[in-house]
């Protein structure tokens, strides 16, 4: 079935049709959730929140963008909200912040690999990180990212360029020492 047929079934309450649609973009939603939150447990929570929110708000999908883009937006928003809540909790309890700092990778362990890139992503401003994650991990086009972020395509290009440059800077050996 194509997307429009599945959407029609979803709107009639057929959860199996929604499962099919969600399954088509689940991997990219996971990538977004994981890259924004930075850990598996939080990403699992975010995925659950995003899928539930999408099912409950399916009536709000107007088709102005693709279903896939709409789902990425929901996952992105859920991940960002999760990270914000986590930050609020950390600021309420400074002792937890010290414990988290101790769990950060040591300088010797920070090599240019997946962990180092994840660390570097967490150092980026939120809008830069989001644009880069949507481009590199979700494989969205510049136009889709612009739509998701509500900014012009040129702004997306600039954010991605600056994010890439900052990641490279953060991953240079002098920054890791």
Q: Are residues 36 and 82 in the same domain?
A: yes
Residue that wins the pLDDT comparison between 136 and 111: 136
Q: Is the pLDDT of residue 137 over 80?
A: no
Same domain as 78, residue 58 = yes
In terms of pLDDT, which residue wins out, 22 or 38?
Answer: 22
- How many other CB atoms sit within 10 Å of the CB of residue 134? 29
Quickly state the pLDDT bin for 92 (edges 50, 70, 90).
low
Q: Are residues 5 and 84 in the same domain?
A: yes
Q: Do 17 and 80 reside in the same domain of the chain? A: yes
| CB-based burial label for 135 (10 Å; 0-12, 13-18, 19+) | buried
DSSP assignment, residue 152? Answer: -
CATH number reported for the structural domain that contains residue 140 in this entry? 1.10.10.10
Question: For residue 36, what are the domain limits?
Answer: 1-103
0.75 surpassed by pTM: no
pLDDT band for 141, please (50, 70, 90 cuts): confident
Same domain, 9 and 22: yes
Of the residues 103, 132, 149, which one is the last residue of a structural domain?
103
> Last residue of some domain: 103, 136, 169?
103
pLDDT for 106 equals 40
pLDDT at 111 over 50: no
What is the per-residue pLDDT across 36-78, written as a single tens digit (0 to 9) for each? 888 888 999 999 999 999 988 888 888 877 888 889 889 988 8
Say yes or no: 30 and 88 in one domain.
yes
Tell me the longest C-alpha to C-alpha distance in the chain.
58
Q: What's the domain count of the chain?
A: 2
Buried b (16+ CB within 10 A) or exposed e, 37-71: beeeebbebbbebbbebbeeebeebeeeeebbbbb
Does residue 69 share a domain with residue 29?
yes
- 113 shares a domain with 56: no
State residue 61's pLDDT score. 87
Do 154 and 71 belong to one domain? no
CATH of the domain at 53: 1.10.1740.10
Question: Domain check: are 170 and 88 in the same one?
Answer: no
Both 87 and 153 in one domain: the answer is no
| Confidence (pLDDT) at 128 | 93
């Amino acid at each position: 079935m194509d997307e429009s047929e599945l959407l029609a079934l979803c709107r009639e309450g057929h959860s199996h049709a929604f499962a099919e649609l969600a399954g088509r973009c689940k991997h990219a939603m996971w990538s977004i959730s994981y890259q924004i939150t930075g850990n598996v447990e939080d990403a699992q929570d975010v995925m659950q929140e995003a899928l539930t929110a999408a099912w409950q708000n399916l009536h709000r999908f107007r088709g102005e963008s693709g279903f896939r883009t709409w789902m990425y937006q929901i996952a992105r928003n859920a991940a960002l909200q999760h990270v914000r809540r986590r930050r609020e909790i950390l600021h309420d309890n400074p002792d937890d912040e010290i414990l988290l700092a101790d769990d950060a990778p040591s300088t010797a362990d920070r090599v240019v690999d997946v962990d180092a890139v994840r660390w570097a992503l967490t150092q980026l401003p939120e809008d830069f990180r989001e644009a880069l994650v949507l481009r590199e991990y979700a494989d969205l086009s510049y136009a889709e990212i612009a739509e998701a972020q509500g900014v012009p395509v040129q702004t997306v290009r600039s954010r991605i360029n600056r994010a890439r440059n900052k990641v490279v800077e953060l991953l240079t050996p002098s920054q890791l020492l």
